Structures are given as C-alpha cells and as structure tokens.
Amino acid sequence: MDTFKLEILTPNGEIYNDDVISVTLPGEEGEFGVLANHASLSTLLEAGVIDIENKDKSIESILINWGVVNIDEEKVIVLVEGAVAIRGDSESSIATALEDAKELISSIADTNPAIVAVTARIESAAQRLL
Amino acid sequence: MANLKDIKRQISSVSNTQKTTRAMKLVSTAKLRRAEELAKRSRLYADKMNQVIAEIAGRIQCSKIGGIENRCFTEIENPKMVDIIFVTADKGLCGGFNIQTIKAVNKLLAEYKEKNVKVRLRGIGKKGIEFFKYNEVELFDSVSNLSSKPDKEKSDSFISTSIEDYKDGKIDAIHIVYNGYLNIITQQLHVNKVLPVDTEDYDCDKASSSMLEIEAQDEEHMLDSLVSRYVEYNMYYSLIDSVAAEHSARMQAMDTATNNAKEMVKDLNVAYNKARQAAITTELIEIISGVESMK
C-alpha cells in the first residue's frame, strides 16, 4: 500500500511525523480523506478530529481546534493551534486524554453546532481504544 | 599614589559590583533555559507556517490561478506608508542587544526616507521606545512590558491594527525588526517583511508541475484568515525569540562584567600592596634617617 508523509505541528512542537496510509481531516467544507498521491490542495480546518491510518493499519485520532493543511503529492503538512492526541496505553491515560480533549473543545465558542458531533467523535475514538 | 584607604574602598566597591553581576548572570541563565525551550519548540511551527504561506504566495504569484488578487500576496509598487514594528528589551544591561535592533530600525527608516515613504513606527519594549523618544522620532504607538513577558493575546491585539490597516490599504508593508536567538552565545538580527508575503525565492518551474487548488468557494476568506494567523504568529514568535535572545545577551554581558570586575580587583590588589609597601619603606627611611641624624 502506498504511503505518504504526514506532519502535524502545533505552536508547542511537532505531535506527529510519520508515513501513513490515509488521513481524514475536518475541512471547513466538510470532512475529507487523503490518500497517497493526492493532488495539491490548501484549505482551512475547523474544530474536529483527525483520523490517521498508520502504516500498521492501526487508527489514531487527534483532536484539533483550528488548523490549516497543505497537501502536495509527497507530503501533508497540518498546522494546528491546539491539539490533543487521543491515545494511551492504559485506561487511565486514555481517560486523561479524553478529559484534555473535552477541555479543548469547551474552550472553543459553544455556539458551533458541530461541537456536539465532535464530542461524540472523540468519545467513540476513545471507546475504540478501550 | 592613591592613599591606602581609597584603594581599599575601591576594592570593596568593585567586588560588590562583581557579586551583583554574578547574581544577574545566574538569574539570566535560569530564565534563558525556559525561554530557549519555548523558542525552540515554536521555531518548527513558525518555519512550517512560513513555508506554507510562501508556497501559496509563490503559486499565486507564478500562475495567478483563479484570478486571486489579494493585497497580502502581491508586492505593492510605490508604497506610500509602511509600518515598522521593533522589538527591544524592557531592561538594559544586556550588551549591544538593544542598540543593534535600534540601528537596524534607523537604517530602515533612512532607506524609506530616501524613497519618500512615510513610516509609522510602532514599538515594543521600553529601551527602544525611550531611545526614539529621546531622539524625537515620532512613534505611532508603543507598548512596554510585553517583550519581557510575551503574551499571545496582547501580541495579537497589538499586531491586529497593522493587519487591518494593511488590508484596508492604509499601509503598504509591515516590517518586524527584532534580535533573535541563534545559540547561547550569538544573537541574530531579523528584519522581516511579513506583509506582503515575500515571493522572491519561489521557484516557478517547480510549481508548474503541480496545480494548486484552494478548497472553499470563498478563497478570499481562507486566505484572509490564514494571513492574519500567519502575521499574528510571526509577531508572537518574534517576541518569544527576542526574549530568549535578551537573556542570552544579558547572560553574556554579565559574564563579561564579572570577569572584568575580577580582573579589576586583581589589579587593585596589586596597587594596594604596592602602596602599602611604599608606605612601609617611607616609614623605615624616616626612622633610619632619624637615627642617623641623632649620631
């Protein structure tokens, strides 16, 4: 399976940098998936969850509050303002990540109806890990 | 020869100064570690952000696809008014750190003056503000206590005036001048033109192979929001970088000062011993000649 390079950066440093099979991003116009050899594209991202399919086919979820993505044939660069990776080895660490994620969500203006959907998404991502 | 008491007083005064400078060095070292960490982590993001923006700008410049005309991406001919934002420290005692920035600002001011372009000078940091006030250079506005404690919100609200004015066409360029952190012993002066986005280095041949497509019907909205974030982040990053550089400069300056003080104490001690010896010799000569005269 073809892979491509994915970089996710926050002002506090890099949170993801690896080859992946696919990534699903919460674009302003709606969610969209990216596979290897995608055409060049730049767009804004809104609050939502980035789903990453790793090389070993495991799925990882990262919650973001705002971002911009720059896609070209070889790599995808995602710049985000705030992000929480929903992952962990034990139940308690996943729960902590979930708490952080909810905190990030509540820091965004709560008028956005998408937030309910996002909250549901992070819950289900956590469920998958447990 | 100075009298013994004077030298003694001088020695104690210099060694007190030495104590102060050593303490200041230690404080700066501790502060530097934190500031450096923050600057390093942010550098990656700032670099990538600039890269993404430069790429978008470059592609717009090269192909003019989709008829995108945004002020932020095109070089403006015959600018009438530009913004220069400088970042200096709030405190002194950090060697040439502030003066370097000030010199760069002066150079830029002179360049624009030659071209008959009006400049709005906006200042961050007490030292720079004081300098320009003393030299009767007009400041459009200024803010202190921001460069020593970078704060994203304050920095955003400061830079937003410039961004708005740029978008409204009141000003034609925004420069940020600051002294940044390179490594623990060197600072690097940055004169960054944040708007319009610099597209000179972009290689058009490379771009022609891949098309740029901008999602969303309203690309204007996307570019606007992206550019604002880009400028805001650049401003904030300048502050973080500047604070790290300030501490490293101060650490160095204080280290040099401590060494100089040490050297001075050494010299004074030699002078003191010589003076003491001279005094003893004089006394001895007096006694001996006294005894001689009684014979």
Residue pLDDT tens, chain A, 130 long: 788 999 998 887 788 888 999 999 988 878 889 988 888 888 888 888 888 988 888 888 888 888 888 888 788 989 888 888 777 667 777 777 777 777 777 666 555 555 666 777 777 777 776 6
Residue A128's H or E segment, with its range, is helix A114-129
The reported pLDDT for the residue numbered B289 is 95
Please state the φ and ψ torsions of residue A50, each to the nearest 5 degrees.
Answer: -95, 120
Min distance A16 CA to chain B CA atoms (Å) = 12
Chain B residues within 8 A of A41 when measuring between CB atoms: 212-215
- C-alpha to C-alpha distance for B10 and B17, rounded to whole angstroms: 11
Question: Residues of B numbered 93-132 whose beta carbons fall under 8 angstroms of chain A's beta carbons: which are they?
Answer: none
CA atoms within 13 A on the CB side of B276: 9
Looking at the complex, does the CB of residue B139 fall below 8 Å from at least one CB of chain A?
no
pLDDT by 10s per residue, chain B, length 295: 568 899 999 999 999 999 999 999 999 999 999 888 888 888 888 888 888 887 777 766 665 555 556 677 777 778 888 999 999 999 888 888 999 999 999 999 999 999 888 898 999 999 999 999 999 888 888 888 888 888 888 888 899 889 888 888 888 889 999 999 888 888 899 898 888 877 666 666 555 445 555 554 556 777 788 888 889 888 999 999 999 999 999 999 999 999 999 999 999 999 999 999 999 999 999 999 999 998 8
Judge whether A70 and A38 are in contact, CB under 8 Å: no
Q: Which amino acid is present at A50?
A: I
CA atoms within 13 A on the CB side of A67: 28
Of A13, A29, A40, the CB nearest to B211: A40
C-beta pairs of B96-100 under 8 Å, 24+ apart in sequence? B96/B249, B97/B179, B97/B187, B97/B245, B97/B246, B97/B249, B97/B250, B97/B253, B98/B125, B98/B127, B98/B128, B98/B131, B98/B179, B100/B179, B100/B187, B100/B189
Chain A residues within 8 A of B51 when measuring between CB atoms: 77
The reported pLDDT for the residue numbered B64 is 55
Question: Taking an 8 Å Cβ-Cβ cutoff, which residues of chain A contact chain B?
Answer: 7, 9-14, 27-29, 39-44, 68, 70, 72-73, 77, 79
- CB pair distance less than 8 Å for B216 and A68: no
Please state the φ and ψ torsions of residue B44, each to the nearest 5 degrees.
Answer: -60, -45
CA atoms within 13 A on the CB side of B117: 23
Looking at the complex, does the CB of residue B41 fall below 8 Å from at least one CB of chain A?
yes
Chain A residues within 8 A of B213 when measuring between CB atoms: 39-42
Judge whether B15 and B279 are in contact, CB under 8 Å: no
Distance of alpha carbon B118 from the chain centroid: 24
Min distance A35 CA to chain B CA atoms (Å) = 16
How does strand B81-87 pair with strand B174-183? parallel
Structure tokens at A89: 């080895």
The CATH homologous superfamily to which domain B41-251 belongs is ATP synthase, F1 complex, gamma subunit (3.40.1380.10)
CA A104, B164, B242, B119: dihedral to nearest 10 degrees?
180
The reported pLDDT for the residue numbered A112 is 58
Over its C-alpha atoms, chain A yields an Rg (Å, rounded) of 14
How does strand A75-80 pair with strand A4-10? parallel
Judge whether B87 and A112 are in contact, CB under 8 Å: no
A117: Cβ contacts below 8 Å, ≥ 6 apart:
none
Each domain of chain A, given as residue ranges in start order, spans: 1-130
Question: Residues of B numbered 225-254 whose beta carbons fall under 8 angstroms of chain A's beta carbons: which are they?
Answer: 225-226, 229, 233
Q: What is the ipTM of this complex?
A: 0.72
The reported pLDDT for the residue numbered B2 is 62
CA B215, A76, B233, B35: dihedral to nearest 10 degrees?
170
- C-alpha to C-alpha distance for B236 and B108, rounded to whole angstroms: 22
Q: What is the CATH number of domain A1-130?
A: 2.60.15.10
- CB pair distance less than 8 Å for B214 and A43: yes
